[in-house]
Amino acid sequence: MNKLAVVTGGTKGIGRAILEKFAREGFDLATCARKEHELKNLQKELQEKYSVKVMVFQADLADKNQIKLFTGFISSLGRPVDVLVNNAGYFIPGQVLDEPEGSLESMVNSNVYSAYYVTRGIAPAMKKLHTGHIFNICSIASIKAYPNGGSYAISKFALLGFSKVLREELKEFGVRVTSILPGATKTASWDGVDLPDDRFMKVEDVADTVFAVFALSKNSVVEEILIRPQLGDI
């Protein structure tokens, strides 16, 4: 049986690229997103392209009840999860003093609580089996405040803190935890920005990094990895 990779927010951007990479390496996949038609299209395309099994579940991970349904779905598969990538989240630009009301709550729900509750639903089985690798897709904003970052940066700082705590809690149980901190990556978050493509990283570069870290022997773990555009931060 193929190994299983679970990636949240898998229909676009970095999540989609990570799914493609693991499918290319022969992994079966499970993912979730808010839009059912995008999930179905993804499922059909990846199964036809890579001849692996792709399991999809419609869920908005800003909603704790829907997270529980998603993690229940993963448990119902009756298969060990070899890789969990907490990727779901989004960005609203703004500054703390004048960003839209509710921005902090919204992005903490999507960017932090989603990873927290998905991990609580899936990682206990990893811990019991003494195997598995958890990736948390953080950001350069996890370590550096920048103009117009506002509550997004706050949420990403928190996600990195969560990842560090998880690493300490799970290391003696053979479960590896890695924080991925990408800089500006060419995704839909940058739509409408008038900058050339060479100012951005490619989503495939992030996906290749995730797989390379996973492929290390179980004697080693990359705890944190920062990836920046060659020309520097935007």
CATH of the domain at 65: 3.40.50.720
For residue 119, the enclosing domain spans 4-227
DSSP state of 100: P
Helix or strand run (H / E) with residue 157? helix 150-170
Q: 15 in helix, strand or coil?
A: helix
Domain count, the chain: 1
Global pTM reads 0.95
Please check whether residue 10 is in contact with residue 33, taking contact to mean a CB–CB distance below 8 angstroms. Answer: yes
15-53 per-position pLDDT tens digit: 999 999 999 999 999 999 999 999 999 999 999 999 999
How would you label 176-212 residue by residue, b for 16+ Cβ within 10 Å and e otherwise? bbbbbbbbbbbbebeeeeeeeeebbbebebbbebbbe
Mean pLDDT score across all residues of the chain:
95
Q: How far apart are the C-alpha atoms of 222 and 213, rounded to whole Å?
A: 6
* pLDDT value, residue 198: 85
Within a domain: residue 234? no
* pLDDT value, residue 187: 79
Within a domain: residue 38? yes
Within a domain: residue 15? yes
Mean pLDDT within 143-162:
95
Q: Is the pLDDT confidence value at 205 over 90?
A: yes
